[in-house]
Amino acid sequence: AQKITQTQPGMFVQEKEAVTLDCTYDTSDQSYGLFWYKQPSSGEMIFLIYQGSYDEQNATEGRYSLNFQKARKSANLVISASQLGDSAMYFCAMRDLMNYGGSQGNLIFGKGTKLSVKP
């Protein structure tokens, strides 16, 4: 079964420093997509970054980058130059097409990492 594991329940980082949030995944699919979302205390899920399994380059979006290591099945999120507004829950997710079908499948989520940025 598809599975996402986030082993860090909580992380602290000093403002302006970089931080890495860990994510490992398990899938038997050859083609898959990995997502990172940010969930502030208000509750909405904000899309940050996407990595396709066949993408040769690591994805980057502004201060967010994804350290994709396919052989290790890891997709760690790196946030550079942390800001106070980065304090939130962060979720790693994987699209599961095999078990849910259709053209969109379903997103399988990890349990999340709570990031706290210290001034």
Extended strands (E) in 9-87: 10-14, 19-21, 24-26, 33-39, 46-52, 60-61, 64-69, 74-79
Q: Residue 64, interface with another protein (CB under 8 A)?
A: no
- Among positions 16, 47, 70, 118, the unique one binding another protein when judged by CB under 8 A: 47
Give least dist CB 89 to another protein, A.
9
Stretch that binds another protein, among 12-20, 64-72, 78-86, 98-106 (CB under 8 A): 98-106
Task: For residue 53, give every residue at least 6 positions away whose Cβ sits within 8 Å of its Cβ, in sequence order, or none.
Answer: 29, 30, 31, 32, 33, 34, 70
Q: Residue 9, interface with another protein (CB under 8 A)?
A: yes
Stretch that binds another protein, among 19-27, 37-45, 67-75, 76-84 (CB under 8 A): 37-45
Q: Residue 23, interface with another protein (CB under 8 A)?
A: no
Q: Residue 67 and residue 59: Cα distance in Å, rounded?
A: 8
- Among positions 22, 24, 45, 98, the unique one binding another protein when judged by CB under 8 A: 45
Q: 91: buried, middle or exposed (CB in 10 Å: 19+, 13-18, 0-12)? A: buried
Residues that bind another protein (CB under 8 A): 4, 9, 33, 35, 37, 42-45, 47, 50, 52, 91, 93, 95, 100-104, 106-107, 109-112
